[in-house]
């Protein structure tokens, strides 16, 4: 009588191919396969031979075995397994990703810093850019990790430890989305480095602009206000006014007001072009904010009697406190009517004119603070003129 094999994996390949595996045999075979990996860490030859025997059996395929490993097995078990699978093909066009999706490959990175280096092995194995994998790790942590912020700050520190700004901003590895996550999780300075680099080495505007928009896409919130202000005041934007559109393109109704309060968009003598651009792209809240700022600035900078006569047919330069402002052909009629209507409501309610002026200064407020005192004086003049009428 022949001696019975101790494990299904010990059976000859030709027998395994013909024999139907039972549930209990599969469970034992899976445990034995993991044991085989642990006994051969960083030595993949026996693992390769085992896959050649059983890789077409459901539950023992490459993806199945990869998912049998857990945190207790350590990173070397995953590296060994990836090396074994990769060595099974000498074909340069071999695509391991067909066997193991990247979200499965990257799952061990949820277990902590000890598994972070696995991302480099996954990149080599799956032939996916490291920045793209980094983005997937960030998103996976945000949706699945119990403490994503703490873990992702550590991950950001890890991926920044041996890479440089050129790696993330040029050529094949350029990844604005990865940079946006780094800014969000622990490395805001890398965003400033991006602006420094694009200021020093400008490329094509279309590429620059979209890249900058994407890099800073996750800072348009109240938690990031101090950083957003820091970005707005960077020389990259101050040296070429049209570049502010890269921040406006990613803005929301809250952040557009922050941008306009720290950046004098009316320095640009084609503000009407920018407004039309946002109307064209159906970003009407940005177009509205810019139009409102232009109208209120027009009212603040133009003498009252000229406002009543009509509007400029072309832009006119004005100076105030050492800054240039553009007053261009914009209709102020609707806003003047709105101001007049509010004044009448306040007068009907019996409010004194000084209180009316204060109330109006809150209802009709320029985002850019230097113009607000001028606007308040003009509002006081309008109140007085209305009262006399």
Tens-place pLDDT, residues 177-234:
999 999 999 999 999 999 998 888 876 565 688 899 999 999 999 999 999 999 999 9
| Residue 206 confidence (pLDDT) | 58
Whether 319 shows a pLDDT value over 80: the answer reads no
Look at 29-38, 57-66, 168-177, 342-351 and tell me which has the smallest mean pLDDT: 168-177
165 CB neighbour count, 10 Å cutoff: 16
Segment 48-65 mean pLDDT: 85
Segment 243-267 mean pLDDT: 93
Find the domain containing 291 and state its range: 266-389
pLDDT level of residue 305 (50, 70, 90 thresholds): confident
In a domain, 13, yes or no: no
In a domain, 188, yes or no: no
Chain position carrying tokens 């006399």:
388
Look at 93-97, 239-243, 271-275 and tell me which has the smallest mean pLDDT: 93-97
Whether 389 shows a pLDDT value over 80: the answer reads no
Look at 2-11, 13-22, 30-39, 316-325 and tell me which has the smallest mean pLDDT: 2-11
| Residue 86 confidence (pLDDT) | 86
Segment 95-107 mean pLDDT: 76
In a domain, 327, yes or no: yes
In a domain, 358, yes or no: yes
Q: Could you give the C-alpha distances from 89 to 42, 58, 190, 335, in angstroms and in order?
A: 18, 20, 39, 71
In a domain, 72, yes or no: no
Segment 100-112 mean pLDDT: 93
Whether 310 shows a pLDDT value over 50: the answer reads no
How many domains does the structure of the chain reveal?
Answer: 1
Whether 366 shows a pLDDT value over 50: the answer reads yes
In a domain, 366, yes or no: yes
Q: Round to whole Å and give the CA distance between 281 and 28.
A: 60
Q: Which residue has the higher pLDDT, 342 or 170?
A: 342
Give the list of residues 6+ apart from residue 215 with CB closer than 8 angstroms, or none.
Answer: 176, 179, 180, 183, 191, 194
What the block records as the tokens of 237 is 């934007």
pLDDT level of residue 19 (50, 70, 90 thresholds): confident
Q: Is 267 helix (H, G, I), strand (E, B) or coil?
A: helix
Q: Round to whole Å and give the CA distance between 357 and 49.
A: 86
Residue 52: name the closest of 25, 92, 18, 89 by CA.
89
Q: Is 214 helix (H, G, I), strand (E, B) or coil?
A: helix
Segment 345-351 mean pLDDT: 93
Instruction: Give the predicted TM-score (pTM) of the model.
Output: 0.84
Q: Which residue has the higher pLDDT, 6 or 242?
A: 242
pLDDT level of residue 92 (50, 70, 90 thresholds): low
Q: Is the distance from CB of 46 to CB of 40 less than 8 angstroms? A: yes
| Residue 117 confidence (pLDDT) | 95
Strands of the chain (E only): list them. 316-320, 323-327
| Residue 329 confidence (pLDDT) | 58
Q: Round to whole Å and give the CA distance between 374 and 213.
A: 33
| Residue 315 confidence (pLDDT) | 59
Q: Which letter does DSSP use for residue 329 in this model?
A: S
Q: H or E stretch including 75?
A: helix 75-87
Q: Which residue has the higher pLDDT, 177 or 242?
A: 177
pLDDT level of residue 98 (50, 70, 90 thresholds): very low
Whether 250 shows a pLDDT value over 60: the answer reads yes
Segment 295-312 mean pLDDT: 75
Whether 133 shows a pLDDT value over 70: the answer reads yes
| Residue 40 confidence (pLDDT) | 92
Q: Which residue has the higher pLDDT, 210 or 74?
A: 74
In a domain, 294, yes or no: yes
In a domain, 159, yes or no: no
């Amino acid at each position: 009588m022949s001696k019975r094999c101790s494990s299904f994996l010990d059976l000859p390949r030709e027998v395994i191919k013909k024999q139907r595996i039972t549930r209990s045999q599969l469970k034992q075979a899976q445990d034995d396969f993991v044991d085989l990996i642990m006994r051969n860490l960083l030595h993949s030859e026996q693992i390769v031979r085992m896959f050649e025997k059983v890789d077409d059996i459901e539950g023992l395929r490459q993806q199945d075995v990869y998912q049998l490993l857990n945190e207790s097995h350590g990173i070397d078990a995953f590296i060994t397994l990836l090396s074994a699978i990769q060595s099974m093909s000498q074909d340069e066009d071999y695509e391991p990703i067909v066997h193991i999706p990247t979200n499965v490959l990257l799952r061990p990175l949820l277990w902590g810093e000890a598994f972070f280096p696995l991302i480099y092995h996954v990149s080599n194995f799956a032939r996916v850019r490291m920045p793209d994998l980094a983005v997937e790790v960030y998103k996976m942590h945000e949706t699945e990790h119990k403490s994503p912020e703490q873990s992702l700050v550590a991950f950001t520190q890890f991926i920044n430890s041996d890479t440089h700004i050129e790696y993330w901003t040029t050529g094949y590895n350029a990844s604005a989305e990865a940079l946006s996550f780094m800014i969000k999780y622990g490395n805001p300075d890398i965003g400033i480095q991006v602006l420094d680099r694009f200021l020093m080495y400008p490329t094509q505007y279309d590429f620059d602009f979209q890249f900058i928009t994407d890099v800073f896409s996750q800072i348009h919130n109240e938690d990031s206000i101090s950083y957003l202000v820091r970005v707005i005041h960077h020389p990259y934007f101050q040296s070429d006014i049209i570049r502010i559109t890269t921040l406006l393109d990613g803005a929301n109704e809250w952040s557009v007001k922050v941008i306009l309060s720290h950046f004098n968009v009316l320095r640009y003598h084609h503000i009407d072009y920018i407004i039309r651009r946002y109307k064209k792209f159906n970003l009407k809240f940005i177009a509205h904010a810019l139009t409102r700022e232009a109208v209120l600035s027009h009212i603040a900078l133009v003498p009252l009697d000229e406002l009543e006569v009509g509007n400029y047919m072309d832009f006119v330069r004005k100076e105030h406190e050492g800054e240039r402002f553009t007053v261009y052909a914009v209709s102020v009629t609707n806003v003047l009517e709105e101001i007049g209507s509010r004044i009448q409501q306040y007068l009907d309610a019996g409010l004194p004119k000084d209180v009316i002026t204060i109330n109006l200064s809150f209802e009709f407020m320029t985002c850019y603070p230097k113009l607000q005192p001028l606007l308040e004086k003009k509002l006081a003049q309008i109140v007085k003129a209305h009262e006399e009428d």
